[in-house]
């Protein structure tokens, strides 16, 4: 084989292996790209379906206590998504359904539910008012200003004052404020309707001073 023929032979051989190598790499890349494109995420969030929520809310009216408990626990696991769906139940004539709705909100303990739980403090049923108070205690600090506003606006409500007393005596983190002790005393006093608004304003001012000092 002459010299030119040898050179041509090795050129063809080099091109053969080069194309073979490039083809394998591109195939590998295509396979990898296809895998990434078609791969499904391992974790994903399930959307809460309206009909599932409706079914669980319906089960809150069941005569079977275990069925109600199961429905409540499922609703609690869904979190704040169901809170607004429970709002209409707070005025339902069925006391058991109202209790279940307030209990669910209390266990979710989402700050967005504070107005609903404060509303439940006006309920004529004592057990419902107690559960609402427990829910407010579970939420904690974000409750204070809305509850103070409600006391200033409607100090004549015995149920509201009793619910506020429940909250402030149960929230031990705030017992160091002398103004809160004064408010608790005002809520219990014979002239509570008169003294409560002023005591509530004093608590608000004390908290504002504390926040200013902390910043």
Mean pLDDT of 4-28: 52
The distance from CA 213 to its chain's CA centroid, rounded to whole angstroms, is 30
Task: Yes or no: say if 110 and 81 are a contact pair by the CB < 8 Å rule.
Answer: no
Name the residue among 120, 112, 63, 129 with its Cα closest to residue 71.
63
CA dist., res. 84 & res. 89, Å (int): 10
pLDDT for the residue numbered 12: 56
Q: How confident is the model at residue 11 (pLDDT cuts 50, 70, 90)?
A: low
CA dist., res. 127 & res. 102, Å (int): 10
Q: Which domains are delineated in the chain?
A: 49-139 (1.25.10.10), 141-215 (no CATH)
pLDDT for the residue numbered 172: 74
Higher pLDDT, 32 or 173: 173
pLDDT value at 115 more than 90: yes
Q: What is the pLDDT of residues 148-171, one digit of tens each?
A: 999 999 999 999 999 999 999 998
Mean pLDDT of 164-189: 89
Tokens of 194: 């008169």
pLDDT value at 173 more than 90: no
Q: How confident is the model at residue 44 (pLDDT cuts 50, 70, 90)?
A: very low
Q: How confident is the model at residue 42 (pLDDT cuts 50, 70, 90)?
A: very low
Task: Yes or no: say if 161 and 198 are a contact pair by the CB < 8 Å rule.
Answer: no
């Amino acid at each position: 084989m002459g010299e030119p023929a040898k050179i041509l032979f090795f050129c063809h051989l080099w091109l053969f292996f080069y194309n073979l190598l490039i083809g394998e790499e591109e195939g590998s890349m295509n396979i990898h790209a296809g895998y990434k494109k078609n791969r499904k995420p391992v974790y994903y969030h399930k959307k809460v379906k309206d009909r599932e929520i409706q079914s669980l809310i319906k089960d809150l009216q069941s005569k079977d206590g275990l069925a109600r408990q199961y429905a409540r626990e499922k609703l609690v696991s869904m979190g704040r998504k169901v809170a607004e769906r429970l709002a209409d139940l707070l005025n339902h004539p069925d006391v058991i359904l109202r209790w279940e709705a307030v209990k669910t909100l209390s266990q979710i303990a989402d700050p967005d539910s504070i107005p609903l739980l404060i509303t439940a403090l006006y309920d004529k049923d004592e057990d419902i008012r107690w559960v609402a108070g427990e829910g407010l205690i579970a939420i904690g600090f974000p409750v204070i200003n809305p509850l103070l506003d409600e006391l200033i606006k409607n100090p004549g409500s015995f149920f509201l004052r009793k619910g506020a007393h429940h909250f402030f005596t149960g929230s031990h983190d705030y017992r160091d404020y002398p103004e809160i002790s004064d408010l608790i005393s005002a809520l219990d006093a014979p002239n509570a309707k008169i003294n409560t608004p002023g005591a509530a304003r004093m608590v608000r001012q004390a908290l504002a001073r504390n926040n200013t000092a902390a910043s």
